[in-house]
């Protein structure tokens, strides 16, 4: 199987390239959007900024998924749930910020609660008028769910497809729950009609550009955290668990603790992705919990290359760009065919994904070059034959 | 003995004849009285006051006047008018004629100051009660029954005489029962019934034992005297016990019905998962393809054998669709296995993704071919009606699906237990490498097992086309539930699937009344997620010493 060493070569340079690209994007996109006159060809329309920001949030989700799947072998089909929970936490903050500007003009209750005759704010909505509290919940709620879920699942050694299936059941159960009106999260319609974030208008071009830059920053930060985790000693154990779980356990490692740590961390990251996603698209509704969304996130990682981090982010952007491109054109009915074919072809023909295959190709080229050089040296009689070990 | 019985019959006849005579005499007497009363009664409609109209309706129903039914009907539909100047009540018929309310004959000159008799809710109640008592003597037993039920609900004391009269004349046992119940209801609510009569009435109503009876008795229990109250409370407790039992039985039946649907959907999944350790995310789409096969069969049948000339053609579509759906989906399944899955056996998680891709493609293909909306699949005559068992209505469609799923289960059990192919499949399930060493061609077994699992999903689709919407998303609705059944029941054992499906179905249906359908489902999902902690390999896990890699 693949090992950590496999990707180590040349990875550091790629990391630098990616970070440089993201920093450049964080600087250039706001300039193109705000600094350039609207009639110029270089001007970036605000919708483009929001769209690209959305891709970055997806990339963040893919990154979190790659951490658990690519490095620890946990195929979570419920990461969309963590993403959506983070999004709901942010959405609740944004709802509270509307205040008395809603259709019904109630200073405390959001519109849907007035509509559904809520006498007062449900207890779990308290505190969300403060940004720091909402930001804490963005990390805490998905993290706590992942911790409880993982604690139960990993301790009793639910692995492989079983784990995948119950993570799917988890997000499905949440989907059903959030669709209910009396659950207190806006039911079918979800949360929308946002006005302000930290006092800035959500719709304003400046806010959008700032959110975009923030997404870039979050992606860089998450990337660095993931990088630190997988290159540490802990990361080596994670890879060992992925490749031979029982053997790692027999060597004396507490497999479930490692899994639990990485699963919870990944869920928090997915929550952050959701929280950045919501103000940029302006809505969060229960369909984000749909099992199909989580599986789609898995295919982004697979396309880019699992266990490469860079690849996951790349895959998310590429697949979503393709999705936007095809679903807005005359080819719209064929998009699902393409997506389906992508699932099949990537798993059959490109199991390492784009980045993984590229890495393997470079490795093999290097190996042949080295071998050629060695044999050439031997033929010339210049190189000393290696002493037998 | 025959003589005695004949004598008794004769005596009975004589009695009835006398009764009839008495009835006619009474009726004659009554007629005389009525002719005089009718003017007074109709006079109540001339005052344009709700309370007078109310009293008039009640009096009219009790009078038994020949036009009473017509007048009440006209009043109910706003077609009764009056002229204050000429002291005349007029019935406007539906076809625009004007009849005299007293005689029922057309009137010569229409008065100029005709005004409609207005009604409010109080009058409407009186009208309902009056309609009930008026139709109690209708020649049609069905209408008599309905009228008796209406009187039971209205409990209008003025209808008592008519009810008594109807009970004596009644020939049909079921109508008579309804009438007796109606009489009991009136007696129970009327203040001038004796205590013992009321207690007897309570007993009659307890035997009725439905929600209406319960509502009536609850009303009585708060106001009546101690004896009646005691009787009523005992009766309420008895009815509630019976109703609770009935609802439990009903829930169990619904649960079995849901369980059999889950069994059909999940059993194919259990086979492929058991034999190959492969999760087939496209399994739901096999169900969907089976349902669409039924649709296509019915379309062809409709085109070639129109219902006008071949009334029973539709009945044959299901027997044709079942094997056809099996063949179609089995072929698709074999194709998927040969084309995709066999390359991925070492990577079960990748199989999950690839089959998800297949499911997207199949869904979209069906959407493009048949459209995104629900398609109409007809129910044959033997699937469409229902029957009643002790207060529970059972639809034939559901019943046949339960029977069908049992047959499929038994058939599959037979295939696995008795046939050589089944033996090979079990061998591969238990120990793939050992089976291969013994000369079993495991790739062939894999393909056939996958085809079998898919084929069963296809025939599940035929069954589901009868109770669910046939749309491209049909399979998606069942896939997670099917997974839950397999995860809960454990793999490699069909009994596990059976127990898993039935317990999920029944638990779901018993939770529904307390928690609602959606919350019940969430609770079941959470329970399974917790259950799997305790038994990570399901209820009926294969025992072995192999270490999972």
- Ranges of each domain in chain B: 246-381+392-534
Q: Do B365 and A153 touch (CB under 8 A)?
A: no
A70: left (phi over 0), alpha (psi -120 to 50) or beta: alpha
Q: Which of residues 328-347 of B touch A (CB under 8 A)?
A: 340, 343-344, 347
Please give the model's pTM, rounded to 2 decimal places.
Answer: 0.76
| B409 reaches A (C-beta below 8 A) | no
Q: Pick the more confident residue, B474 or B221.
A: B474
DSSP state of B306: -
Which of A74, A161, A298 is best to mutate for the B interface (most B CBs within 10 A)?
Answer: A161
Q: Pick the more confident residue, B133 or A323.
A: A323
- Taking one residue from A and the other from B, the number of pairs with CB-CB distance under 8 angstroms is 130
Q: Do A343 and B522 touch (CB under 8 A)?
A: no
Q: With beta carbons less than 8 A apart as the criterion, state whether A319 and A335 touch.
A: no
**Rg of chain B over all Cα atoms, to the nearest angstrom:** 34
Per-residue confidence (pLDDT) for residue B499, from 0 to 100 = 92
Q: CA of A179, closest CA in chain B: separation in Å? A: 9
Q: Do A343 and B484 touch (CB under 8 A)?
A: no
Q: Phi and psi dihedrals of A200, rounded to 5?
A: -100, 145
How many angstroms separate the CA atoms of B90 and B97, rounded?
10
Among residues A339, A214, A273, A257, which one has the least CA distance to residue A66?
A273
pLDDT over 70 percentage in chain B: 90
Q: CA of B525, closest CA in chain A: separation in Å? A: 6
DSSP structure string for B109-177: S--TTEEEPP--HHHHHHHHHHHHHHHTT-S-HHHHHHHHHHHHHH--GGGHHHHHHHHHH---HHHHH
pLDDT over 90 (residue A235): yes
- The number of beta carbons lying within 10 Å of the beta carbon of residue B480 is 20
Q: Do B357 and A348 touch (CB under 8 A)?
A: no
Per-residue confidence (pLDDT) for residue B396, from 0 to 100 = 87
Q: CA of B272, closest CA in chain A: separation in Å? A: 13
Q: Whole-number mean pLDDT of chain B?
A: 82
Q: CA of B371, closest CA in chain A: separation in Å? A: 11
Locate B264 and state its tokens.
Answer: 């059909």
Select the residue of B344, B518, B529 nearest A176 (Cβ to Cβ): B518
**Least confident among A42-51, A228-237, B185-194:** B185-194
Select the residue of B357, B363, B519 nearest A344 (Cβ to Cβ): B357
**Least confident among A302-306, B231-235, B321-325:** B231-235
How many angstroms separate the CA atoms of B435 and B70, rounded?
85
Per-residue confidence (pLDDT) for residue B315, from 0 to 100 = 84
> Residue range B373-390: average pLDDT?
82
Q: Do B518 and A244 touch (CB under 8 A)?
A: no
For residue B547, what pLDDT band results from cuts at 50, 70 and 90? very low
Locate A81 and state its tokens.
Answer: 């749930």
Residue of A nearest to B273 (CA): A161
A344 chain-B contacts, CB cut-off 8 A = 340, 354, 357-358, 361
pLDDT over 80 (residue A147): yes
Q: CA of B541, closest CA in chain A: separation in Å? A: 13
Q: Whole-number mean pLDDT of chain A?
A: 89
How many angstroms separate the CA atoms of B281 and B275, rounded?
16
> Residue range A133-149: average pLDDT?
95
Among residues A354, A329, A357, A330, which one has the least CA distance to residue A342?
A354
What ipTM was reported for this prediction? 0.86
The CA-atom distances, in angstroms, between A270 and each of A66, A79, A146, A312 are 11, 7, 11, 13
CA A130-A136-A139 angle, to 5 degrees, is: 145
For residue B248, what pLDDT band results from cuts at 50, 70 and 90? confident
Strand-pair partners of B43: none
The domain B246-381+392-534: what is its CATH number?
1.10.3470
SS3 labels along chain A = CCCHHHHHCCHHHHHHHHHHHHHHHHHHHHHHHHHCCCCCCCCCCHHHHHHHHHHHHHHHHHHHHHHHHHHHCCCCCCHHHHHHHHHHHHHHHHHHHHHHHCCCCCCCCCHHHHHCCCCCCCHHHCCCCCHHHHHHHHHHHHHHHHHHHHHHHHHCCCCHHHHHHHHHHHHHHHHHHHHCHHHCCCHHHCEECCCEECCEECCCHHHHHHHHHHHHHHHHHHHHHHHHHHHCHHHHHHHHHHHCHHHHHHCCCCHHHHHHHHHHHHHHHHHHHHHHHHHHHCEECHHHHCHHHHHHHHHHHHHHCCCCCHHHHHHHHHHHHHHHHHHCCCCHHHHHHHHHHHHHHHHHHCCCHHHHHHHHHHHHHHHHHHHHHHHHHHHHCCCCCCCCC
**Least confident among A219-223, A271-275, B27-31:** B27-31
How many angstroms separate the CA atoms of A194 and A99, rounded?
10
How many angstroms separate the CA atoms of A82 and B34, rounded?
81
The residue behind tokens 């406007």 is B92
A243 chain-B contacts, CB cut-off 8 A = none
Per-residue confidence (pLDDT) for residue A294, from 0 to 100 = 95
Which of A76, A336, A338 is best to mutate for the B interface (most B CBs within 10 A)?
Answer: A336
pLDDT over 90 (residue B208): no
> Residue range B369-385: average pLDDT?
85
For residue B444, what pLDDT band results from cuts at 50, 70 and 90? very high
Q: Do B519 and A180 touch (CB under 8 A)?
A: yes
Q: Pick the more confident residue, B322 or A181.
A: B322
pLDDT over 80 (residue B294): yes
- Coil, strand or helix at A284: strand
Select the residue of A152, A179, A298 nearest B353 (Cβ to Cβ): A298
A336 chain-B contacts, CB cut-off 8 A = 360-361, 363-364
Residue of A nearest to B351 (CA): A347
pLDDT over 60 (residue B295): yes
| B508 reaches A (C-beta below 8 A) | no
pLDDT over 70 (residue A243): yes
Q: With beta carbons less than 8 A apart as the criterion, state whether B124 and B153 touch.
A: no
Q: Do B277 and A333 touch (CB under 8 A)?
A: no
The residue behind tokens 């066999």 is B342
Per-residue confidence (pLDDT) for residue A382, from 0 to 100 = 53
Strand-pair partners of A201: A196
Select the residue of A75, A173, A295 nearest B522 (Cβ to Cβ): A173
Residue of A nearest to B534 (CA): A156
Q: Do A340 and B548 touch (CB under 8 A)?
A: no
Q: CA of B448, closest CA in chain A: separation in Å? A: 21
Select the residue of B277, B347, B529 nearest A170 (Cβ to Cβ): B529
A161 chain-B contacts, CB cut-off 8 A = 277, 279, 348-349, 352
Q: Do B480 and A341 touch (CB under 8 A)?
A: no
Q: CA of B481, closest CA in chain A: separation in Å? A: 9
Per-residue confidence (pLDDT) for residue B549, from 0 to 100 = 40
For residue B167, what pLDDT band results from cuts at 50, 70 and 90? confident
pLDDT over 60 (residue B1): no
B548 chain-A contacts, CB cut-off 8 A = 159-160, 245-246
| B539 reaches A (C-beta below 8 A) | no
């Amino acid at each position: 199987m693949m090992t950590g060493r496999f990707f180590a070569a040349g990875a550091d340079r790629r990391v630098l390239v990616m970070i440089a690209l993201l920093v450049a994007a964080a600087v250039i996109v706001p300039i193109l959007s705000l600094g350039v006159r609207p009639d110029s060809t270089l001007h970036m329309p605000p919708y483009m900024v929001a769209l690209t920001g959305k891709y970055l949030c997806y990339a963040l989700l893919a990154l979190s998924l790659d951490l658990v799947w690519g490095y620890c072998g946990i195929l979570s089909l419920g990461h969309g749930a963590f993403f959506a929970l983070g999004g709901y936490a942010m959405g609740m903050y944004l709802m509270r910020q509307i205040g008395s500007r809603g259709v019904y003009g109630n200073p405390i209750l959001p519109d849907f609660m007035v509509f559904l005759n809520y006498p007062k704010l449900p207890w779990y909505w308290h505190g969300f008028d403060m940004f720091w509290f909402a930001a804490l919940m963005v990390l805490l709620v998905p993290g706590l769910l992942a911790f409880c879920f993982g604690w139960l699942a990993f301790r009793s050694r639910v692995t492989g497809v079983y784990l995948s299936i119950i993570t799917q059941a988890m997000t499905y159960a949440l989907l059903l729950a959030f669709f209910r009106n009396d659950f207190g999260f806006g039911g079918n319609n979800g949360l929308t009609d946002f006005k302000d974030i930290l006092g800035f208008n959500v719709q304003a071009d400046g806010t959008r550009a700032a959110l975009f830059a923030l997404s870039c920053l979050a992606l860089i930060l998450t990337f660095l955290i993931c990088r630190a985790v997988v290159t540490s000693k802990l990361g080596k154990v994670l890879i060992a668990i992925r490749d031979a779980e029982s053997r790692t356990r027999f060597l004396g490692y507490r497999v479930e603790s490692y899994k639990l740590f990485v699963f919870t961390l990944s869920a928090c990251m997915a929550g952050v992705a959701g929280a950045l996603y919501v103000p940029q698209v302006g809505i969060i509704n229960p369909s984000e919990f749909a099992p199909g969304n989580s599986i789609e996130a898995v295919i982004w990682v697979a396309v880019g290359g699992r266990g490469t981090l860079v690849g996951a982010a790349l895959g998310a952007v590429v697949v979503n760009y393709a999705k936007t491109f095809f679903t807005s054109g005359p080819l719209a009915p064929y998009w699902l065919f393409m997506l389906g074919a992508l699932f099949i072809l990537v798993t059959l023909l490109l199991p390492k994904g784009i980045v993984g295959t590229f890495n393997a190709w470079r490795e093999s080229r290097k190996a042949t070059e080295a071998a050629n050089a060695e044999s050439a040296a031997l033929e010339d009689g210049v190189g000393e034959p290696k002493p037998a070990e | 003995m025959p003589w005695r019985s004949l004598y008794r019959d004769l005596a009975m006849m004589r009695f009835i004849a006398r009764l009839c005579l008495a009835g006619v005499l009474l009726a004659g007497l009554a007629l005389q009285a009525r002719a005089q009363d009718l003017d007074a009664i109709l006079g109540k409609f001339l005052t344009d006051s709700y309370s007078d109209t109310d009293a008039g309706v009640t009096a009219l129903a009790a009078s038994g006047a020949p036009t009473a039914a017509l007048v009440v009907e006209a009043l109910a539909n706003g077609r009764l008018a009056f002229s204050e100047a000429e002291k005349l009540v007029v019935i406007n018929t539906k076809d625009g004629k004007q009849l005299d309310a007293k005689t029922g004959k057309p009137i010569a000159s229409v008065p100029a100051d005709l005004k409609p008799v207005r009604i409010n809710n109080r009058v409407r109640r009186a009208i309902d009660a009056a309609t009930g008592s008026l139709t109690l003597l209708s020649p049609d037993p069905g209408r008599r029954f309905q009228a008796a039920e209406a009187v039971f609900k209205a409990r209008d004391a003025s209808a008592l005489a008519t009810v008594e009269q109807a009970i004596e004349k009644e020939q049909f046992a079921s109508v008579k029962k309804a009438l007796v119940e109606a009489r009991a209801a009136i007696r129970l609510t009327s203040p001038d019934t004796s205590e013992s009569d009321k207690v007897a009435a309570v007993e009659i109503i307890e035997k009725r034992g439905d929600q209406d009876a319960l509502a009536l008795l609850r009303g009585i229990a708060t106001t009546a005297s101690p004896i009646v109250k005691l009787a009523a409370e005992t009766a309420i407790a008895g009815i509630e016990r019976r109703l609770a039992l009935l609802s439990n039985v009903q829930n169990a039946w619904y649960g079995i019905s849901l369980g059999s649907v889950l069994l059909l959907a999940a059993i194919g999944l259990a086979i492929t998962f058991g034999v190959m350790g492969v999760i087939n995310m496209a399994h739901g789409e096999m169900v969907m393809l089976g349902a669409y096969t039924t649709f296509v069969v019915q379309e062809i049948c409709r085109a070639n054998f129109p219902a006008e000339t071949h009334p029973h053609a539709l009945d044959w579509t299901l027997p044709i669709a079942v094997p056809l759906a099996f063949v179609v989906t089995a072929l698709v399944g074999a194709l998927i296995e040969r084309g995709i899955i066999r390359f991925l056996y070492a990577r079960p998680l990748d199989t999950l993704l690839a089959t998800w891709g297949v499911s997207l493609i199949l869904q979209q293909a069906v959407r493009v071919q048949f459209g995104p909306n629900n398609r109409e699949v007809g129910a044959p005559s033997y699937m469409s009606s229902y029957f009643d068992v002790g207060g529970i209505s059972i639809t034939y469609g559901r019943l046949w699906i339960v029977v069908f799923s049992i047959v499929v289960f038994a058939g599959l059990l037979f295939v696995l237990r008795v046939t050589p192919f089944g033996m090979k499949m079990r061998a591969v399930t238990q120990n793939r490498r050992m089976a291969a060493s013994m000369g079993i061609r495991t790739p062939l077994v894999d393909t056939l097992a996958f085809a079998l699992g898919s084929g069963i999903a296809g025939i599940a689709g035929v069954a589901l086309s009868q109770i669910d919407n046939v749309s491209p998303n049909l399979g998606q609705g069942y896939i997670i539930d099917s997974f839950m059944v397999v995860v809960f029941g454990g793999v490699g054992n069909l009994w596990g699937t059976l127990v898993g499906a039935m317990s999920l179905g029944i638990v779901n249906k018993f939770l529904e009344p307390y928690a609602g359908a959606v919350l019940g489902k969430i609770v079941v999902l959470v329970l399974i997620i917790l259950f799997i902690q305790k038994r990570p390999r399901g209820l009926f896990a294969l025992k072995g010493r192999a270490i999972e890699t």
